[in-house]
């Protein structure tokens, strides 16, 4: 692709460029390097991308045929080639669409399931669907991991102001401490357990589900325990084998990837918490972003611009990580959610055709909400030797009008950080500061050097009016499509995850060794040594 070549030249040329100088050269930069869509504002002006670079990045997307792959995805083509699957999570948020996979209409079943989920959620919320022993389901425990946990957990936390249903908890880790602590907090006789697992084979989820069933059976009796369970899965034979009747199973097709599944049955816990109407608004937000992604011209297309900024920073400028920094406490689980979405999707070194990737895979994603992160890791972001492109996000308004002062401070901090990263502080400015603080001579020089901020550190900012269900849907779909665009440009299949398998296999074979029923013979020296320590200290 010729755009890569152009971009390498532009990257070299941009090496020493000051971002601030781009604002001096172009008075309209702030608006020219920002795009607004359906209430969202994406600002990428605080990066070293100039008009020429942007043109080359857009050219790159064109050469990679992002538009063609996008059309194929929405049309239900089997673009997940290593698993031979279509990729249609977008259908979940567009239930009225007409979509076929290999000529078969996939929508009637999807609509029927959404209808059943809605009726079920309404029934539980109204108390018509109740525990077999009487009363109401006041607590819900979603048992799932990865995509069967992170999406609903993140969204339920994000939409706390809309949660007026049963209290929802999440158990994911196979660490017994997790289920123990959650079971301690719920009233077992009034708890609905949702076993969320696409495959219904995931060891963590099945172990936790069995523990929940045992505890329940001990408390309410084995006859009543099944009435406390529902399953969300693509494997009806396995849900039946677990003892969950078909009317309590909400299924979905193999074309819904785990990390893209919050929009369908895996979102049942969210629907129970916020109600079907708010859940529908969440879907509508996602759908609106889909339409924008499909229809907006590339230069004003938010997912495209977010992706191209990512490619610029990661594959071209060589910045290995990116920080996601939501100035929104209720988005505290978003970095973890995006870690799976981005790193499980694009953390690959082989291209779709099996050839070695000719550049870096997707970046390492990490982060925490502002302002908390400021008092933890921002030191490195401002003064460390590595450059960490930052992705700020914030809502214009919070949900607490009586705490508007807090919100103003929050926003001031968000804006201050991106400004500080770009502006920095020169040695001269630091010297002046130290002089006015009374320092002189060598000590002044020494103190000043510690107070220099290199600046010129890139960031983007995504602003939204308020974190409503609709807006959350927009943001999540925006990031999904960003990952898609980056994957297409890198030639990666963003929808498989073979890299998680080897560890799973080894864990299976190690379980009897840890339990002491098999020997460690044949294992490497380190693993044998660690096993020996564990055996000595397990008590
Ligand atoms: O191990 C990775 C993974 O397969 C994820 O892709 C998935 O979201 C998670 O495990 C859970 O899988 P399941 O829903 O099948 O339990």
**What region does 40 belong to: left with phi over 0, alpha with psi -120 to 50, or beta?**
beta
Q: Which residues does 535 contact at the CB level (< 8 Å), separation at least 6?
A: 516
Kindly state the average pLDDT of the residues 317-326.
98
For ligand 1, whether the C-beta of 146 sits within 6 Å is yes
How far, in Å, is the centroid of ligand 1 from the Cα of 2?
Answer: 38
Nearest CA to ligand 1 atom 10: 146
Kindly state the average pLDDT of the residues 486-512.
96
Return the percentage of the chain with pLDDT > 90, whole number: 98
Q: Which two tokens stand for residue 135?
A: 């009363």
Q: What is the mean pLDDT of the chain?
A: 97
For ligand 1, whether the C-beta of 147 sits within 6 Å is yes
Q: Which two tokens stand for residue 93?
A: 């948020």
How far, in Å, is the centroid of ligand 1 from the Cα of 202?
Answer: 7
Q: Which two tokens stand for residue 407?
A: 């919100």
Rg of the chain (C-alpha set): 25
Instruction: Report pLDDT for 538.
Output: 85
For ligand 1, whether the C-beta of 197 sits within 6 Å is yes
How far, in Å, is the centroid of ligand 1 from the Cα of 144?
Answer: 8
DSSP character string of 60-115: HHHHTTHHHHHHHHHHT---BTTTTB---HHHHT-TTS--EETTEE-HHHHHHHHH
Instruction: Report pLDDT for 102.
Output: 87
Number of the ligand 1 atom closest to the C-alpha atom of 199: 15
How far, in Å, is the centroid of ligand 1 from the Cα of 45?
Answer: 37
Q: How many CB atoms lie within 10 A of CB 207?
A: 14
For ligand 1, whether the C-beta of 202 sits within 6 Å is yes
Q: At residue 503, does pLDDT exceed 90?
A: yes
How far, in Å, is the centroid of ligand 1 from the Cα of 153?
Answer: 15
How far, in Å, is the centroid of ligand 1 from the Cα of 499?
Answer: 12
Among candidate residues 370, 450, 464, 365, the one with its CA nearest the CA of residue 418: 370
Q: At residue 222, does pLDDT exceed 80?
A: yes
Nearest CA to ligand 1 atom 5: 146
Q: Which two tokens stand for residue 38?
A: 């359906």
> Which residues are tagged catalytic?
344, 375, 504
Number of the ligand 1 atom closest to the C-alpha atom of 259: 8
Query: CA angle, 301 as apex, 300 and 303 as ends, to 5°?
Result: 145
For ligand 1, whether the C-beta of 140 sits within 6 Å is no
How far, in Å, is the centroid of ligand 1 from the Cα of 162?
Answer: 28
Instruction: Report pLDDT for 509.
Output: 95
For ligand 1, whether the C-beta of 494 sits within 6 Å is no
Nearest CA to ligand 1 atom 1: 500
- Catalogue the long-range contacts made by 442-445 (C-beta closer than 8 Å, 24 or more residues apart): none
Instruction: Report pLDDT for 249.
Output: 98
Q: What are the tens digits of pLDDT across the range 164-213?
A: 999 999 999 999 999 999 999 999 999 999 999 999 999 999 999 999 99
How far, in Å, is the centroid of ligand 1 from the Cα of 56?
Answer: 37
Instruction: Report pLDDT for 16.
Output: 84
For ligand 1, whether the C-beta of 259 sits within 6 Å is yes
Number of the ligand 1 atom closest to the C-alpha atom of 150: 8
Distance of alpha carbon 87 from alpha carbon 200, whole angstroms: 20
Distance of alpha carbon 58 from alpha carbon 64, whole angstroms: 10
Nearest CA to ligand 1 atom 2: 500
In the chain, what is the straight-line distance between the N-terminal and C-terminal CA atoms, in Å?
60
Number of the ligand 1 atom closest to the C-alpha atom of 205: 16
pLDDT-based confidence at 395, cuts 50/70/90? very high
Q: At residue 134, does pLDDT exceed 80?
A: yes
Distance of alpha carbon 346 from alpha carbon 342, whole angstroms: 6
Among candidate residues 60, 51, 46, the one with its CA nearest the CA of residue 1: 60
Q: What are the tens digits of pLDDT across the range 265-316?
A: 999 999 999 999 999 999 999 999 999 999 999 999 999 999 999 999 999 9
How far, in Å, is the centroid of ligand 1 from the Cα of 198?
Answer: 7
For ligand 1, whether the C-beta of 148 sits within 6 Å is yes
Q: At residue 539, does pLDDT exceed 90?
A: no
Q: What are the tens digits of pLDDT across the range 81-126?
A: 999 999 999 999 999 999 998 899 999 999 999 999 999 999 999 9
Number of the ligand 1 atom closest to the C-alpha atom of 344: 6
Number of the ligand 1 atom closest to the C-alpha atom of 204: 16
Q: At residue 8, does pLDDT exceed 80?
A: yes
Return the percentage of the chain with pLDDT > 70, whole number: 100
Q: Which two tokens stand for residue 226?
A: 């099944």
Q: Which two tokens stand for residue 437?
A: 């603080």
DSSP character string of 435-476: HHTT--HHHHHHHHHHT-B-----EEEEEES---HHHHHHHH
Kindly state the average pLDDT of the residues 246-271.
97
Question: Candidates 80, 82, 142, 145: which one to mutate for ligand 1, based on the most atoms within 8 Å of Cβ?
Answer: 145
* Cross-strand partners of 460: 391
Number of the ligand 1 atom closest to the C-alpha atom of 261: 8
Query: CA angle, 462 as apex, 458 and 463 as ends, to 5°?
Result: 135
Distance of alpha carbon 127 from alpha carbon 136, whole angstroms: 5
pTM above 0.85, yes or no: yes
For ligand 1, whether the C-beta of 207 sits within 6 Å is no
DSSP character string of 209-265: HHHHHHHHHHHH-TTTGGGGEEEEES-HHHHHHHT--GGGEEE--TTS-GGG-TTTG
How far, in Å, is the centroid of ligand 1 from the Cα of 148?
Answer: 7
For ligand 1, whether the C-beta of 145 sits within 6 Å is yes
Question: Candidates 150, 258, 480, 496: which one to mutate for ligand 1, based on the most atoms within 8 Å of Cβ?
Answer: 258
Q: At residue 403, does pLDDT exceed 90?
A: yes
For ligand 1, whether the C-beta of 258 sits within 6 Å is yes
Nearest CA to ligand 1 atom 3: 146
């Amino acid at each position: 692709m010729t755009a890569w070549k152009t971009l390498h030249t532009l990257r070299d040329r941009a090496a020493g460029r000051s971002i601030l100088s781009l604002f001096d050269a172009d008075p309209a930069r702030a608006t020219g390097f920002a795009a607004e869509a359906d209430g969202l504002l994406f600002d990428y002006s605080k990066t070293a991308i100039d008009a020429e670079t942007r043109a080359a990045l857009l050219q790159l997307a064109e050469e990679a045929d992002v538009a063609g792959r996008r059309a194929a995805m929405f049309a239900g083509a089997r673009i997940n080639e290593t698993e031979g699957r279509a990729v249609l999570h977008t259908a979940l948020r567009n239930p009225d669409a007409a979509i076929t996979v290999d000529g078969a209409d996939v929508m009637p079943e999807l609509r029927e399931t959404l209808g059943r989920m809605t009726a079920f959620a309404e029934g539980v919320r109204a108390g018509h669907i109740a525990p077999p022993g009487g009363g109401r389901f006041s607590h819900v425990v979603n048992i799932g991991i990865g995509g069967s946990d992170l999406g609903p957990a993140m969204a339920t936390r994000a939409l706390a102001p809309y949660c007026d249903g049963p209290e929802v908890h999440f158990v994911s880790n196979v660490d017994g401490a997790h289920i123990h602590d959650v079971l301690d907090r719920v009233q077992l006789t009034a708890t609905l357990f949702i076993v969320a697992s696409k495959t219904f084979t995931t060891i963590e989820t099945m172990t936790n589900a069995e523990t929940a069933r045992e505890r329940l059976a001990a408390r309410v009796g084995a006859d009543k325990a099944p009435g406390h369970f529902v399953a969300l899965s693509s494997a009806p034979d396995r849900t039946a084998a677990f003892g969950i009747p078909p009317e309590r199973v909400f299924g979905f097709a193999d074309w819904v990837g785990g990390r893209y599944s919050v929009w369908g049955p895996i979102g049942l816990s969210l629907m129970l918490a916020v109600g079907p109407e708010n859940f529908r608004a969440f879907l509508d937000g996602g759908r609106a972003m889909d339409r924008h992604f499909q229809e907006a011209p590339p230069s004003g297309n938010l997912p495209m611009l977010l992706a191209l900024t990512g490619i610029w920073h990661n594959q071209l400028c060589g910045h290995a990580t990116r920080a996601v920094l939501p100035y929104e406490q209720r988005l505290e689980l978003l970095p973890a959610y995006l870690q799976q979405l981005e790193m499980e999707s694009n953390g690959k070194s082989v291209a779709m055709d099996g050839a070695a990737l000719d550049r870096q895979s997707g970046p390492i994603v990490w982060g925490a909400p502002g302002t908390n992160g400021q008092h933890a890791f921002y030191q490195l972001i401002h003064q460390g030797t590595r450059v960490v492109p930052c992705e700020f996000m914030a809502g214009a308004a919070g949900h607490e009008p009586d705490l508007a002062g807090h919100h103003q401070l929050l926003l001031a901090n968000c804006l201050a950080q991106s400004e500080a990263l770009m502006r920095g502080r020169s040695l001269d400015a630091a010297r002046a500061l130290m002089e006015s603080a009374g320092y002189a001579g060598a000590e002044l020089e020494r103190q000043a050097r510690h107070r220099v901020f290199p600046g010129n550190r890139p960031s983007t900012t995504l602003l939204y009016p308020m974190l409503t269900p609709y807006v959350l849907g927009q943001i999540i779909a925006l990031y999904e499509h960003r990952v898609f665009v980056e994957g297409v440009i890198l030639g990666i299949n963003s929808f498989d995850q073979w890299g998680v398998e080897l560890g799973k296999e080894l864990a299976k074979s190690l379980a009897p060794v840890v339990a002491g029923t098999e020997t460690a013979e044949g294992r490497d020296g380190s693993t044998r040594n660690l096993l020996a320590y564990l055996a000595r200290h397990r008590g």
